[in-house]
Structure 1
């Protein structure tokens, strides 16, 4: 029995020694590699390389070198209560040949006595990586007629419309939801409660008009008769930053035309606001006409000849964004729309003439 006691004591001593060595080793590992040891107890993080909670996100790295060369995530979308940098101001004043002696500091100061200063660059709370913000940018093309896209458009988190777009009576094709409405004085309309008014200022008078239209109603003309008053939630009124105009002109439309169109600005705005972007109602209808979906306008295609915007280049740019899988462009005929970022698109995206 004595030899059995000795064996038992030996086993206990060895076990204690092994336990001590293992515990010491674990403490040492925790001190040297704390993240490795604690990783199993931490909440899971975003999927590798992803920047949002969608299956694919606009700003995910590695999708498109062509896109990454043009996209600048640091852009400030909205004008804030401050001075416009001199180089931006000089370029912007030349858009519609405004004289340099205008007092921009005074104009901006008076404007922000009427509207609120945006709390962030895009007026939204910073998204969490688990969120998936989906934008529908809805143009006014007649190719929306009989499209039956209304329910799909309204399913998006944000729906961006522009200028004199109408929805009443056209909900089946264009939807009825609007979260952001892009306009300038000559295309202004009254808005429903809760809709963000996004002013596209092409000249200093546009800023003065906005302040007036939301207060005194004194300004009734620009280069044409305009609405002297508009209805909108003042706490949801924003002004697109002139610096953003120039950024789109240089990085995206690449000096084609004098400045980008409202439709082009809306798409690039959406790329800076949402995680996924779908585009509806851009381009001519199947017969090559440039009418609005709610009206026939024999002058609708005149913009293609003025040189202010380069419609052909912008059309090709939108197609390229679609082919790169950055946006989802819905055509006038169901079944022809592309899908975002499939494996084949990433491996061999179709090209148009844009460099």
Structure 2
């Protein structure tokens, strides 16, 4: 069985994590918890106190809000149900998790990505003009208020909230448009299908932070949040557009400057450890990773 914490070695400035003992299945089984719902719903509105404290400290607010009260009002606008509760055991739900790495440029993965049941994208993720490499279909789009954009009616908007104000914003953006600023300017109005809006569960967010990224970085990246969401709602998970390109450059596929390095600028996330987690999931055959160019 793997030790609970990996050994860290540094080679040429890159952190490499490894265990001295075999047992990848034990590694996965000791971390996976299928009882934690990825979606915040009417049934799990009340967060455990430790989750509530952790979540409230991610982006502290000057004004306090009653989260239960805010959610109750929000769930009068959006469904507040778990759409993944019932699964057909006779059918394999294939999901593509599409990151924003520049290694997608020239990959030709578009048709492969579009062939999945669910195609999950995050933040900006433009597809127009990049269909051959990133596909044109989207079923789930994960965004913060500050990165939100309008979506077609057949796409699920999955809000990743960092604070109660984010919940107030989505309710406002779908109705009155009063909220125009969270910690940065946000769209006052949002054109998305209200019936397809889902709220990412802070308890699931903390579960990833505790069990999988093991407190490396302040909190997990959006890529990690979407990847583990998929692992909990899908039967097969294929991962595209994660990591650096073949030259070791970190940039987005829509950027002309391949040295932009957006993924590593903030220091909020531990990119090396998260890359290691992805490698381990691939080695345990829980995901397949398409490395691109």
TM interval, short-chain normalised: 0.7 to 0.9
Alignment-derived partner of residue 106 in structure 1: 69
Q: Deviations over 1:35-79 (max 9, x none)?
A: xxxxxxxxxxxxxxxxxxxxxxxxxxx982211111111111111
The residue correspondences of 1:145-224 to structure 2 (distance < 5 A) are 145-224=105-184
Which TM-score applies when normalising by structure 1? Answer: 0.72
Q: CA contact under 8 A between 2:173 and 2:189: conserved in structure 1?
A: yes
Alignment-derived partner of residue 97 in structure 2: 137
1:74 and 2:39 aligned: no
Q: CA contact under 8 A between 2:213 and 2:274: conserved in structure 1?
A: yes
Mapped partners of 2:29, 2:190: distance in 1: 39
The gaps in structure 1 that reach 5 residues or longer are 1-61, 334-355
Change in CA separation of 1:205 and 1:153 when aligned onto 2, cut-off 3 Å: same
Alignment-derived partner of residue 18 in structure 1: none
Mapped partners of 1:263, 1:307: distance in 2: 15
- Find the residue that maps to 2:237 and give its secondary structure: strand
Change in CA separation of 1:129 and 1:107 when aligned onto 2, cut-off 3 Å: same
Structure 1 residue 125: Cα displacement: 5.0
Mapped partners of 2:256, 2:230: distance in 1: 28
Mapped partners of 2:84, 2:41: distance in 1: 14
1:252 and 2:227 aligned: no
Mapped partners of 1:79, 1:242: distance in 2: 8
- Find the residue that maps to 2:30 and give its secondary structure: helix
Change in CA separation of 1:155 and 1:63 when aligned onto 2, cut-off 3 Å: farther
Alignment-derived partner of residue 198 in structure 2: 238
Q: CA contact under 8 A between 1:142 and 1:281: conserved in structure 2?
A: yes
Mapped partners of 2:174, 2:61: distance in 1: 23
CA RMSD of aligned residues (A): 1.9
Mapped partners of 1:196, 1:150: distance in 2: 20
Give 1 or 2 for the bigger CA radius of gyration: 1
Change in CA separation of 1:325 and 1:152 when aligned onto 2, cut-off 3 Å: same
- Find the residue that maps to 1:245 and give its secondary structure: helix
The residue correspondences of 1:295-310 to structure 2 (distance < 5 A) are 295-296=255-256, 300-310=260-270
Mapped partners of 1:292, 1:246: distance in 2: 27
Give the helix-richer structure, 1 or 2: 1
Q: CA contact under 8 A between 2:24 and 2:280: conserved in structure 1?
A: no
Change in CA separation of 1:252 and 1:219 when aligned onto 2, cut-off 3 Å: same
The one of the two structures with greater contact order (alpha-carbon pairs below 8 A, sep at least 6) is 2
Structure 1 residue 307: Cα displacement: 3.2
The gaps in structure 2 that reach 5 residues or longer are 1-22
Alignment-derived partner of residue 265 in structure 1: 225
Structure 1 residue 290: Cα displacement: 1.8
- Find the residue that maps to 2:84 and give its secondary structure: coil
Which TM-score applies when normalising by structure 2? Answer: 0.87
Mapped partners of 1:162, 1:286: distance in 2: 22
The residue correspondences of 1:11-22 to structure 2 (distance < 5 A) are none
